[in-house]
Structure 1
Amino acid sequence: MDSIRSKIKRRLQRFIELDVNGLRSYILSKFLDVKETTVDELHTSITQKYDISRSAVASMVGYIYSKLGVLRSHKESYKTPIVYSLKEEYVDLIKSTLESKESTPAT
């Protein structure tokens, strides 16, 4: 189990390192705040701060879900949108990674 956590931590750190405008950190922090959301709800929230398309938000969420492995998805029926939520076992990893990014000065 520890090896999976360390792999996810490395992926998270790399993901955050490539965050030039703060969008990636913002999306992860939104998941920490709301616990579960749909792409449409997330897009509505993000567009208050960033100029980004819905498809770009969907792409970012899909990447976080598939490559980072910290999200869980659930679909009630074929008519409803997919609801994404953070896996509880990785909340502390995300918080510490975001905090370490905030504490390091930008170069």
Structure 2
Amino acid sequence: MNSIRLKIKRRLQRFIELDVNGLRSCILSKFLDVKEATVDELHAAIKKNYDISRSAVASMVGYIYSKLGVLRSYKESYKTPIVYSLKEQYVDLIRNALESKVSSSVT
């Protein structure tokens, strides 16, 4: 495994380990399901299960984008919202990290 993937894997594991209420895992799972979304779309999907503000979701997505490095973003014009999407080369890392959290919480 090259060093960048290894660093991202460690950051991802640490990020998920600090997930006390499941919100971080939920956001990552949503990205696995939909592959790309705006902050507003994520907020609409997540607020069904969590009492969370749009700015908190935006902050979490920004952190995942900038610190974990598993998302890419694009904006069609200055009037449209930023669309975040998963980088395909990290889908397996995210899936494995989420599965290991589920299996460790069960045991």
What's the TM-score bracket when you normalise by the shorter of the two chains?
A: over 0.9
Cα deviation for residue 105 of structure 1 reads 2.5
Following TM superposition, by how much is the alpha carbon of 1:106 offset from its aligned partner in structure 2, in angstroms?
6.6
AA partner of residue 85 (structure 2): S
* CA root-mean-square deviation: 1.3
Secondary structure of the corresponding residue to residue 84 of structure 2: strand
The alignment-based identity, stated in percent, is 83
Counterparts of 1:32 and 1:2 in 2: how far apart (Å)?
23
Aligned match of 1:84 = 84
Structure 1 equivalent of residue 9 of structure 2 = 9
Residue 95 of structure 2 corresponds to which residue in structure 1? 95
Runs in 1 of length 4+ with deviation above 4 angstroms? none
Match of 1:37 in 2: 37
* Structure 2 equivalent of residue 64 of structure 1: 64
Q: Deviations over 1:28-63 (max 9, x none)?
A: 000000000000000000000000000000000000
Partner SS state of residue 67, structure 2:
helix
* Residue identity in the other structure for 2:67: K
Aligned to 1:53: 53
CA distance in 2, matches of 1:26, 1:40: 15
Deviation at 1:72, TM superposition (A): 0.3
SS at match of 1:73: strand
TM-score, L = length of structure 1: 0.97
SS in structure 2 at match of 1:72 = strand
TM-score (norm: length of structure 2): 0.97
Unmatched segments (≥5 aa) in structure 2: none
List per-residue Cα deviations over 1:57-96 (Å, max 9, x = no partner).
0000000000000000000000000000000000000000
Gaps of 5+ in 1: none
